[in-house]
Structure 1
Amino acid sequence: MRFLHSADLHIDRSFEGLHLLSEKVKAQLPAINQKVLHHLTNVALTEEVDFVLFAGDTFHQARPSLKVQHDFFTEINRLATAEIPVYMLFGNHDYYDPQRYWFSFPENVHLFESETVKTIEGVTKHGESYAISGFSYQHPWIEMDKVPTFPARKAVDYHIGMYHGDQAGTRYAPFSVSEMKHKGYDYWALGHIHVPKILSEQPPIIYPGTPQGKTKKETASGVVLADLTPQGAKIQQLSVAELFWETAHISLSGIREANEVLPRILQQVQSQRGRLLHLVIEDDQQLPSDWLRDAEKNEWISYLNERLAQLEPLQVIYGITASQTAAEKYTLAISEAYLAQSLKLYQDPDIFAEGLAELLQHPMIQRGIDQDSFKADVLAQTAALLQQTFDWAGDSYDHS
């Protein structure tokens, strides 16, 4: 039995951390998600899978737009034409409310609509019987472990569990691997964590990751193609992404004049696949020490993105780092331990939210960011900026 396991598509989520884009690129980005879904459908058709699993957070919003719904159902109908069933549950982002959908789900889509676990049984074209057990969120969180409510293994050839949650003690259906193994299922299709992760090989308990990374932390992405046989499972991680977050190392070896730099960069960033790039400039010792000032980086990014917008596939630059000596630091008579302690204080969700209350309450911000990853990015960038700007002398500082 062969199936495709996808999760955390977040089909209507925008890319985070991109700025200074050309108008042409701004117009192209919203279509990226639809292309990713098209790639996913192509894989299902090419590999002639028996069914497709969507293990939650297919949509980033609990109320996806009319266009997003239409685009999604267009691809699902391609699977329907090939008589490929789809099994779909809803996660903490797209928690289920039937009143939020403008179209009826196609007949090949089998939904898990409730927070109560249910089991759907089927038979493949080759006569293999299977059962799929799962549940959906109907609220932004579920605090209880749902594994104990899953049924015992059915008398079928293969039994699959679908589960959107996190191992950690969180508000997102916490679970333990040992509990899942105890059920005796042949495969657990997980969702919620955006990087590919195999929690167990026997039986496979797998997060496929997000099909398309939307932040620079989501460099690994994909879907899982699974083959189950009486002898065991064969697992393949497949890429369906349209854009890839990468670091591009640009060598300026031999360049002595500033007017030679931009042509060299444009030459070296060309690629056969679409990329979201952080440029690391190397071998720039023959240029003046101030050839690229921090105040000029945004202007460089904007200019380069205007030029790169003419290329296919899409190349977008979101950051530049030069290798030459960092700017002079300021010395503070404060221990570095104090810095760590202060930043740790803001790890508390309530304290962080209080400090940015006005910003986080804005409707556009709430729809456009994942607050957990946003907090992590803000604190990481704050720590990096403080480390780059100051020397932490502590008690050793000479007060004279």
Structure 2
Amino acid sequence: MLRFIHCADLHFDRTFEGLHLITQVKELPLANNQVLEKIVTLALDEQVDFLVFAGDIFHQNRPSLKTQHQFFKQMNRLKEQDIPVYMIFGNHDYFEKERYWFDFPENIHLFTEEKVRTIHGKNKTGESYAISGFSYQHPWIPTSKVSEFPKKAATYHIGMYHGDSNGERFAPFQIQEMKQKNYDYWALGHIHVPTVLSKTPPIIYPGTPQGHTQKEKETGVQLVTLDGLTVHYETKRVAAVTWEDYELSLSGMKSRKDALEAMKAFFQTSQRQLVKFSLKDTEHLPIDWLNNREKPELIAYLNEYLAQNNFEQIVYQLEVIAVPESEKLVLTGKEVMAQLLASYQTNEVFETIIEELATHPLIKRTISSQTLKEETLAQVKTTLEQEFCWSEEE
């Protein structure tokens, strides 16, 4: 039996994107260290035979000295337990030896060339295995590499491949051609969404272990067991922080204060999450109760509240879900709007309604009563058109 962890697209030194409205961004890169630590801890707890890293372990092909030191520190934890690591380089971290400040630990077996090669090994129970793979030495490889892979050459044979079956620049491949090699497992990298291209044999993208954008919500690594007859693979979640979308109903609320209290009350337990709030059922709140200028202020306030109350969530985006047209109050008749507005056209009626505003000294000096009336009624007309559905009379 053979057990290993398949990881790809760690992008260890990548920043979190789409968080321009929050101030806690500087703290988030620490999550990358925690993710790698969790992967190594998983390997130790599961007593796997080895790990495979299928490319783009680093986001840059010139990782910083600090990044390299942190990575090798975790790899040395595996070395202490005699757990090998097999590593290929992808289009982001394409291999250039002179870019590294340290020697790779002895337990790391590198594929450093674009030419496919095979490394043979035995696990602690004496079962033999072979791992075939290649690395990028440039930002792209426009041709398939599958034909270079040898036929199965050990009790267990694993292929490592960083590429895109639907692309043109990143080692494009055909699934059927991979199947013809008779391998037990193909450990893919490059696509950040967990994807099973084939079950027999497994040809799998594990996805990225840690999402760095709001599109990368499904994450993980694969824990794989091969026993010669069957293959078992299981997704293990190792993300240090997750991206979550939540809808919050503000039904029946009529003031900003009520809406704010509902947003604060939504959080009951602390979780490491980046939160997008979608606010719905806002029809009873004042028109334009939350404009684009105020959203950053509201986000900042909520995050300050969460931090002060020891919640680990961070709100990074707010949106108001418009009331669907089908749910708006329907007013019938072509003449209804005209009649509604006509009753306020006369100066006497209009000035009675806005008497306090119209007689204000500042208003009187800067705008005529006629202009004020025209602009006010134009705004009322626009609001009526937007807030209600208008149907034809039968």
TM-score > 0.5, shorter chain as reference: yes
- Name the CA distance, whole Å, in 1 between partners of 2:311 and 2:261: 19
Structure 1, unpaired ranges of 5+: 328-400
User: What displacement does 1:303 show?
Assistant: 2.0
Partner secondary structure for residue 295 of structure 1 = coil
1:99 counterpart residue number: 98
2:204 to 203, 206, 209: 206
Contact 1:123 1:130 in 2 (8 A): yes
1:120 counterpart residue number: 119
Partner secondary structure for residue 28 of structure 2 = helix
Contact 1:248 1:269 in 2 (8 A): no
1:62 counterpart residue number: 61
* CA shift digits 1:323-381 (9 cap, x unpaired): 34499xxxxxxxxxxxxxxxxxxxxxxxxxxxxxxxxxxxxxxxxxxxxxxxxxxxxxx
User: What displacement does 1:311 show?
Assistant: 5.3
1:1-400 equivalent positions in 2, closer than 5 A: 1-22=2-23, 25-154=24-153, 156-310=154-308, 312=310, 314-325=312-323
Paired letter, 1:137: Y
User: What displacement does 1:28 show?
Assistant: 1.4
Contact 1:85 1:109 in 2 (8 A): yes
TM-score calculated relative to the size of structure 2? 0.79
The 1:143–1:271 alpha-carbon spacing in structure 2 relative to 1, beyond 3 Å, is farther
- Name the CA distance, whole Å, in 2 between partners of 1:137 and 1:310: 47
User: What displacement does 1:217 show?
Assistant: 0.9
Paired letter, 1:8: D
The 1:122–1:160 alpha-carbon spacing in structure 2 relative to 1, beyond 3 Å, is same
Contact 2:9 2:208 in 1 (8 A): yes
User: What displacement does 1:84 show?
Assistant: 0.7
* CA shift digits 1:89-125 (9 cap, x unpaired): 0000000011101011111000001001110011011
Contact 2:187 2:204 in 1 (8 A): yes
Paired letter, 1:42: T
The 1:69–1:197 alpha-carbon spacing in structure 2 relative to 1, beyond 3 Å, is same
Partner secondary structure for residue 294 of structure 2 = helix
* CA shift digits 1:43-91 (9 cap, x unpaired): 1111111000000000000000111101111111111111110000000
Partner secondary structure for residue 102 of structure 1 = coil
- Name the CA distance, whole Å, in 2 between partners of 1:63 and 1:310: 38
Range that drifts further, 129-138 or 276-285: 276-285
Paired letter, 2:81: A
Contact 1:21 1:306 in 2 (8 A): no
* CA shift digits 1:263-305 (9 cap, x unpaired): 3212213444311111011233332232212221122122222
- Name the CA distance, whole Å, in 1 between partners of 2:25 and 2:147: 46
* CA shift digits 1:134-186 (9 cap, x unpaired): 000000001110000011210x2100000000001411000010010000110
2:349 counterpart residue number: none
Paired letter, 1:306: E
Paired letter, 1:20: L
Paired letter, 1:2: R
Partner secondary structure for residue 266 of structure 1 = helix
Contact 1:56 1:89 in 2 (8 A): yes
Paired letter, 2:320: A
The 1:51–1:245 alpha-carbon spacing in structure 2 relative to 1, beyond 3 Å, is same
Paired letter, 1:79: L
Partner secondary structure for residue 299 of structure 2 = helix
- Name the CA distance, whole Å, in 2 between partners of 1:313 and 1:11: 26
Contact 1:289 1:324 in 2 (8 A): no
Contact 1:7 1:210 in 2 (8 A): yes
* CA shift digits 1:171-222 (9 cap, x unpaired): 1000010010000110000000000000000000000000001111111111
- Name the CA distance, whole Å, in 2 between partners of 1:76 and 1:310: 37
The 1:311–1:45 alpha-carbon spacing in structure 2 relative to 1, beyond 3 Å, is farther
- Name the CA distance, whole Å, in 2 between partners of 1:271 and 1:179: 49
Contact 2:270 2:313 in 1 (8 A): no
Partner secondary structure for residue 198 of structure 1 = strand
Contact 2:281 2:323 in 1 (8 A): no
Partner secondary structure for residue 29 of structure 2 = helix
The 1:58–1:312 alpha-carbon spacing in structure 2 relative to 1, beyond 3 Å, is farther
- Name the CA distance, whole Å, in 1 between partners of 2:124 and 2:223: 18
- Name the CA distance, whole Å, in 2 between partners of 1:310 and 1:251: 24
* Segments ≥4 residues shifted beyond 6 Å: none
- Name the CA distance, whole Å, in 1 between partners of 2:32 and 2:159: 27
- Name the CA distance, whole Å, in 1 between partners of 2:310 and 2:128: 45
Range that drifts further, 296-305 or 6-15: 296-305
The 1:206–1:282 alpha-carbon spacing in structure 2 relative to 1, beyond 3 Å, is same
Q: CA RMSD in A?
A: 1.6
User: What displacement does 1:4 show?
Assistant: 0.2
